């Protein structure tokens, strides 16, 4: 595959897809220690046919973005939180965690090496950064690997799902993750299990599906690739508390911003049969989506419309503008969340 060039890109119509950029980052773990990482022009990994990751699924990953500011600087949003979550995911999958301080520095290297691919300010685009960690040791029996590869690639992206436009969603009959399982780890198997229900939802005309808790199927969990939030009719920000959902950095940030905005935020169980009609607005939140408004949610054959199927609610709009404004540098970062790369 030929390397991507800036001349081939339409900044205003990027979509959300892979582009093979000039530089990635790679580091190997063997003999009980990390060997020292470096930028590489290779976007290909070579693995044994018996590599751990191919058979027993030792893989964890992250997703974060670099944003171009109005004055030409490049911002990262809370990369130390991604470093911490990757380490926690690795521990759950019995993998060697990548050092958190080295993680942030490696991300900076990849962004700077590919800085011409950070979309211009005002286009709505960003540079999506994908760090991942895989077990590479050839293994036949079920056991953790002794060797690992940590790799980072980046790709310019536009809006995920429909951007800041309401979309229809449905409640899935499948489980995304098991109770007491790997739901809190950002590992590939959780996403593989969501592919079938997500595709079925899209074929039925929905943007994605919402999962219920795997134990009782009565509480809201999360979407295939984003967390859920609702704004009650009395103006409270509510988001699910569950042991089987990913600890979202976007959710963690929005809980703080919602408090700043006087929304009395709370993280708790949300019983779908009793509380769905209590929400005046709803949304999906995550690094890829930022915030995607939920126009409607179909549950047990009944469509529940929140604020509107065509317009974004005022609270959702305020939350989006505040979060995105901080990320792009338009609003003051009063919480110390921004890491400036350049």
Active-site residue set: 186
Using the CB atoms, write b or e for 248-269: b if 16+ within 10 Å.
bbbbebbbebbeebebebeeee
Q: Given phi > 0 = left and psi -120 to 50 = alpha, else beta, which region is 260? A: alpha
C-alpha torsion angle, residues 126, 3, 151, 194 (rounded to 10): 60
**Alpha-carbon distances, residue 331 vs 79, 310, 314, 320, 338 (angstroms):** 19, 27, 18, 12, 11
> Which regions of 120-213 does DSSP assign to beta strands (E)?
126-135, 148-157, 167-171, 208-212
In the block, which residue shows the tokens 């953790």?
144
Tokens standing for residue 78: 């809370």
CB 270 within 8 A of CB 238: yes
- What is the rounded CA–CA span in Å between residue 119 and residue 159? 12
Kindly provide the b/e burial profile for residues 49-67, where b requires at least 16 CB atoms within 10 angstroms of the residue's own CB: eebbbbebbbbbbbbbbbb
DSSP H or E segment with residue 101: helix 100-113
Backbone angles phi, psi at 194, to 5 degrees: -90, -5
d(CA 94, CA 143): 9
**The pairing of beta strand 167-171 with beta strand 208-212:** parallel
């Amino acid at each position: 595959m030929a390397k991507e060039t800036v001349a081939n890109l339409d900044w205003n119509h990027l979509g959300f897809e892979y582009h093979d950029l000039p530089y990635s980052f790679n580091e190997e773990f063997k003999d009980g220690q990390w060997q020292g990482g470096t930028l590489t022009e290779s976007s290909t990994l070579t693995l044994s046919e018996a590599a751990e990751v191919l058979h027993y699924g030792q893989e964890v990953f992250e997703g974060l973005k670099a944003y171009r500011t109005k004055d030409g600087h490049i911002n990262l949003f809370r990369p130390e939180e991604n470093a911490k979550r990757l380490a926690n995911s690795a521990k759950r999958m019995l993998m060697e965690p990548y050092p958190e301080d080295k993680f942030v520095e490696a991300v900076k290297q990849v962004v700077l090496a590919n800085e011409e691919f950070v979309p211009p300010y005002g286009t709505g685009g960003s540079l999506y950064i994908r760090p991942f960690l895989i077990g590479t040791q050839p293994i036949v029996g079920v056991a953790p690997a002794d060797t690992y590869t940590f790799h980072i690639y980046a790709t310019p992206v536009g809006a995920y799902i429909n951007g800041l436009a309401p979309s229809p969603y449905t409640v899935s009959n499948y489980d995304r993750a098991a109770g007491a399982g790997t739901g809190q780890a950002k590992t590939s198997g959780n996403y593989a299990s969501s592919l079938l229900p997500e595709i079925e939802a899209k074929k039925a005309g929905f943007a994605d599906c919402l999962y219920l808790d795997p134990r009782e199927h009565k509480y809201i969990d999360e979407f295939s690739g984003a967390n859920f939030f609702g704004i009650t009719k009395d103006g409270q920000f509510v988001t699910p508390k569950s042991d089987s959902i990913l600890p979202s950095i976007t959710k963690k940030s929005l809980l703080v911003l919602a408090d700043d905005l006087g929304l009395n935020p709370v993280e708790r169980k949300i019983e779908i049969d009793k509380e769905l009609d209590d929400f005046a607005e709803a949304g999906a939140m995550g690094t890829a989506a930022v915030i995607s408004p939920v126009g409607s949610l179909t549950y047990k054959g009944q469509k529940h419309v929140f604020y509107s199927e065509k317009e974004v609610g005022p609270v959702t709009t305020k939350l989006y503008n505040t979060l995105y404004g901080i990320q792009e540098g338009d609003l003051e970062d009063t919480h110390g969340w921004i890491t400036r790369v350049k």
